Structure 1
Amino acid sequence: MKTDLSTFTGEGSPGITAKLKYLVWLLFSNVFFLTNIPYPNVIKVNILRFFGAKIGHHVVIKPWVKIKFPWKLVLGNYVWLGEEAWLDNLSEIRIGNHVCISQGALLITGNHDYKKSSFDLFTQGIDIEDGVWVGAKSIVSGGVKLKSHSVLTVGSFTSKDLASYTINQGNPAQVVKQREIS
């Protein structure tokens, strides 16, 4: 067998209402999020809420943050989304309180089944608990839980859950030490 992308069917064809909703979101996203203009966070938060995101208080969203589907996003209180963070949320991404997603970090919920010739798409959510720090240019894949106060260091990758209060580094990320907070 060989890969045959002509047999790929995707997730199914969304209805016209879903397509229009996504189109309107893309327009707002390009004007208010994918820009250097420092719009106040209250504007960005209210736009995300309008599109169905569940968002807590004191959320900071820096310029160039890319969010695929706001209606599949849950952000707790005091969440920071750094410049160029990309939340590719084909499935739900849930982020707890006091979480920092640093610059250029990628949270990706979709993948392909390389064992099938049709290269089928599958999605799994991401759950990030309170106090987590996802370092700059790090990648978190779908189906992963980053447990309370874990750290994924700069440029690291994880496709596995991270234990609470651990510092994880590398590709694949490995525990390098325990996190101590004073």
Structure 2
Amino acid sequence: MKAFGAKVGKEAHIYSGVKVWAPWMLQVGDYVGIGDGVTIYNMDMVIVGEYAVISQGAHLCGGSHDYNSPNFQLYAKPIVIGAHAWICTEAFVLLGVEVAEGVVVGARSLLTKSITEPWTVYAGHPARKIGNREVHKGISI
């Protein structure tokens, strides 16, 4: 990834089966894990904070089309995943979404809006808050 312009933090692990559309628009913090089969369609910046996990099969989709445009004009927005967040297996995160620190997005959830409340748990289609996480300030893994 670094050879193609991605900024990758120390001890970050990006599995070989990860698909990244534009590595030069990817920034991954220290100790991040990105699992096999993840798709990062980053037509704009995708930033993943330290200690975050993007589990297998998740899809971060930074681009879409204007369905009111006669030629379905393409557009893009950034995605920001906060430190200590976990995007679980096969979750789908839409363009322009920001996920606060420590948030968990459940397996196969559809995240259409930003989550600004840290250390919470969201799940469903579309994702909605289902609980809180215990805050672990100053942890190191």
What TM-score, normalized to structure 2?
0.92
Alignment size in residue pairs? 135
Q: Where has structure 1 moved over 6 Å in runs of 4 or more?
A: none
Give the Å deviation of 1:149. Answer: 0.3
The reply to whether residue 177 of structure 1 matches residue 138 of structure 2 is no
| Deviates further, 115-124 or 71-80 | 115-124
Q: Which has the greater radius of gyration?
A: 1
What is the match of residue 164 of structure 1?
118
Please say if 1:141 is aligned against 2:94: yes
Larger proportion of helix: 1
3-state SS of 1:175 partner: strand
* Counterpart selection for 2:62 from 69, 90, 109: 109
Q: Tell me how far apart the structure 1 counterparts of residues 105 and 68 of structure 2 sit (CA, whole Å).
A: 29
Gaps of 5+ in 2: 137-141
Q: Distance in 1 between matches of 2:48 and 2:60?
A: 11
Between the two proteins, what is the percent identity of the paired residues?
Answer: 33
Summarize deviations over 1:12-33 as a string: whole Å, max 9, x none.
Answer: xxxxxxxxxxxxxxxxxxxxxx
Report what 2:139 is aligned to: none
- Counterpart-to-counterpart distance in 2, 1:62 and 1:95: 15
Superposition RMSD in Å: 1.0
CA offset at residue 181 of structure 1?
4.7
Q: Which runs of 5+ in 1 are unaligned?
A: 1-47
Aligned to 2:121, the other structure's residue is in SS state: strand
